[in-house]
Structure 1
Amino acid sequence: MGAQLREYRARIRSAQTMQKVTSAMELIATTRITKARARMEASNPYARAVTQAVSAAATHSSNIDHSLLTEPEQIRRAAIVVFTSDRGLNGAFSQNVLKETEELATLLRGQGKEVVYYLVGRKAVGYFTFRERSYDAEWTGTTEQPVFATAKEIGAALVERFTTPFEEGGVEEIHVIYNRFKNLVVQEASTLRLLPLEVVEGVEEPDDELFPLYDFEPDAEAVLNALLPVYIESRLFNAMLHSAASEQAARQRAMKAASDNAQELVNDYTRLANNARQAEITQQISEIVSGADALAS
């Protein structure tokens, strides 16, 4: 009985220690999510403005045969850019993106397309490495604090691969999969076809927003050529900021759930320890009474 009581008390101390750790991580995530959300919301107007400008330039240049706008007759090889996190303890944040990636890859292969991967985040790299699956490039270390230089580097690599002929290893379609931040409770894995360019999926726009009228100098084609790299980089950076905010929100919820579970364990083991202590006291009283009866007789 005494050994059982010691075991319950040891488990109570272990759960309390874990609760302190998860509570601290929850507070840290709460602080970081405010900053990550502010950065994401600050980037939305710029991404929306670039999307509108590119859409207008593409409309005025509809007769231009641009490599980033032209839909190939047959798509034989597609690339998937996967945005996950560098660290864990964030629930199903990375798992949802990887699951979406597998579903998209299965769909593309069913259409007869070869699939290549570009990975962002150590979780994606670990997932592919453990399964001994090949990928073309990786970027790690900036998922919690995204920097524009990383988005620019990813964009340059994707555009270079997209403009390379298929016979030389180029791709004809590029998809981006990331966690889109909706609110503190809902973050969903989203798929965006980045290239060939589709300017209909821009950042969410207010219903009452007025669209500006554009005048292009020197002409719409020159403006479009200058805007396309900016557009791709802004879309990638906006996806990185959405992913960072979603990661912190997922970690906050996961750590809160872990703290609540630890408190439940403490309550359960406290009750079991009290029962064991009561049983031990009852047994001791019974032994004392039995001994006293034996001496009296």
Structure 2
Amino acid sequence: MPASLRELRSRKNSVATTKKITRAMELIAASRIIKAQQRARDAAPFSRELTRAVSAVATFSNVDHPLTTEHENPTRAAVLLITSDRGLAGAYSSSVIKAGEQLTTLLSGEGKTVLPFLAGRKAIAFYQFRRREVSARWEGFSDAPSYADAREIADALITAFRTPTEEGGVDEIHVVYTRFVSMLTQSPEVIRLLPLEVVEGEDTPEPDELLPLYEFEPDAATVLDELLPLYVASRIQYCLLQAAASELAARQKAMKSATDNAQSLIETLTRQANQARQAEITQEISEIVSGASALADAGASSE
């Protein structure tokens, strides 16, 4: 049954109100993403230099540190899942949750017990709905994470890693987050955070290259004790900043799509309302003409 003109106008007004909301959210996300990208770029130099320092200590010393020691038979693994606190960001949270589920299935297939560590209300709601146990959770800072938030998560993960597995600790720590590639592309990523694997890439010395002589004060073990927690916190902060930029980019894209769809629906409803109005006018004219013809016939017959 075709909708009446009154119903079409009501639906059009409702869609127009929704369009204003989605347009406002699109503009807010667009303004915040610039700051999020800037924070991610500002954190890169510190992370790069800290990586070089940790690499130097790990490469030019013979210290076996707990954070760099590979377990022979790992049986328990922690997975840090980074999602958003709010929705309306398209498939952002669902994509990273899907990657986390795939990682959990892979680790479980290797005979490892997976302990989830969750950052973001979307991941927390996902686990609560399925009544799964959670080792730790954090929320309220997905769109603007700070170093204090990253350090809090890093301390919890390092504590779990240093705890023996017999007492509830873990042998491995993995991080699942979304890497910001561009405004149109955000890719879920999975990295193994601990045991630490420091890779210098292009900075790796050539076989014939002279290596610098390092002296560690007071000793290499103490330097590692100070640097490695900072390194882990820096990596987690980098993941949080990448996830924040990805979340805002996904929300801007989703809200732009919603705004465009609302505009298309408004145009469709406007066309349908015009057609309904024309049909009503045509019907009213037909009724008037029919009434006039009936009166004329009645007058002619009376004469």
TM range, smaller chain? over 0.9
Q: How does 1:250-261 map to 2 (within 5 A)?
A: 250-261=250-261
Given the superposition, is the C-alpha separation of residues 148 and 238 from structure 1 closer, same or farther in structure 2, using an over 3 Å criterion?
same
Q: How does 1:96-115 map to 2 (within 5 A)?
A: 96-115=95-114
> How much has 1:147 moved relative to structure 2?
1.4
Residue identity in the other structure for 2:229:
P
1:223 match? 223
Tell me, in whole angstroms, the C-alpha distance in 1 between the residues paired with 2:29 and 2:89.
Answer: 10
1:291 match? 291
User: Is the CA contact 1:26–1:256 (under 8 Å) kept in the aligned structure 2?
Assistant: yes
> How much has 1:215 moved relative to structure 2?
3.3
Residue identity in the other structure for 2:92:
F
> How much has 1:119 moved relative to structure 2?
0.6
1:84 match? 83
> How much has 1:225 moved relative to structure 2?
2.7
Tell me, in whole angstroms, the C-alpha distance in 2 between the residues paired with 1:265 and 1:171.
Answer: 52
1:267 match? 267
> How much has 1:166 moved relative to structure 2?
1.1
Q: How does 1:14-163 map to 2 (within 5 A)?
A: 14-61=14-61, 63-163=62-162
> How much has 1:2 moved relative to structure 2?
10
Q: Deviations over 1:230-272 (max 9, x none)?
A: 1001001111111111111111011101100110110111111
Find out whether 1:235 has 2:245 as its counterpart: no
User: Is the CA contact 2:79–2:116 (under 8 Å) kept in the aligned structure 1?
Assistant: yes
Residue range with higher mean Cα deviation, 140-149 or 12-21: 140-149
> How much has 1:52 moved relative to structure 2?
1.9
Tell me, in whole angstroms, the C-alpha distance in 1 between the residues paired with 2:292 and 2:140.
Answer: 72
> How much has 1:41 moved relative to structure 2?
0.7
> How much has 1:221 moved relative to structure 2?
3.9
> How much has 1:55 moved relative to structure 2?
1.6
Tell me, in whole angstroms, the C-alpha distance in 2 between the residues paired with 1:64 and 1:57.
Answer: 9
User: Is the CA contact 1:180–1:246 (under 8 Å) kept in the aligned structure 2?
Assistant: yes
> How much has 1:213 moved relative to structure 2?
5.6
Q: Deviations over 1:56-87 (max 9, x none)?
A: 221112x3221111111111000000101111
> How much has 1:220 moved relative to structure 2?
4.0
User: Is the CA contact 1:2–1:280 (under 8 Å) kept in the aligned structure 2?
Assistant: no
Q: How does 1:186-205 map to 2 (within 5 A)?
A: 186-200=185-199
Tell me, in whole angstroms, the C-alpha distance in 1 between the residues paired with 2:164 and 2:216.
Answer: 31
The CA RMSD over aligned residues, in Å, is 2.0
Given the superposition, is the C-alpha separation of residues 213 and 43 from structure 1 closer, same or farther in structure 2, using an over 3 Å criterion?
farther
> How much has 1:39 moved relative to structure 2?
0.5
Residue range with higher mean Cα deviation, 141-150 or 12-21: 141-150
Structure with larger Rg: 2
SS in 1 for 2:118: strand
> How much has 1:27 moved relative to structure 2?
0.6
Tell me, in whole angstroms, the C-alpha distance in 2 between the residues paired with 1:198 and 1:251.
Answer: 34
SS in 1 for 2:4: helix
Give the TM-score normalised by structure 1. 0.93
Residue range with higher mean Cα deviation, 52-61 or 252-261: 52-61
1:183 match? 182
Given the superposition, is the C-alpha separation of residues 158 and 201 from structure 1 closer, same or farther in structure 2, using an over 3 Å criterion?
farther
Q: Deviations over 1:206-229 (max 9, x none)?
A: xxxxxx967333254443332101
Give the TM-score normalised by structure 2. 0.91
Given the superposition, is the C-alpha separation of residues 216 and 181 from structure 1 closer, same or farther in structure 2, using an over 3 Å criterion?
farther
SS in 2 for 1:180: strand
Deviating beyond 4 angstroms after TM superposition, the runs of 4 or more aligned structure 1 residues are none
- The answer for unaligned runs of 5 or more in structure 2 is 204-210, 298-303
Tell me, in whole angstroms, the C-alpha distance in 2 between the residues paired with 1:217 and 1:170.
Answer: 30
User: Is the CA contact 2:63–2:220 (under 8 Å) kept in the aligned structure 1?
Assistant: no
Tell me, in whole angstroms, the C-alpha distance in 1 between the residues paired with 2:3 and 2:86.
Answer: 39
Given the superposition, is the C-alpha separation of residues 3 and 249 from structure 1 closer, same or farther in structure 2, using an over 3 Å criterion?
closer
- The answer for unaligned runs of 5 or more in structure 1 is 206-211
Tell me, in whole angstroms, the C-alpha distance in 2 between the residues paired with 1:198 and 1:265.
Answer: 52
Tell me, in whole angstroms, the C-alpha distance in 2 between the residues paired with 1:67 and 1:256.
Answer: 48
User: Is the CA contact 2:65–2:224 (under 8 Å) kept in the aligned structure 1?
Assistant: no
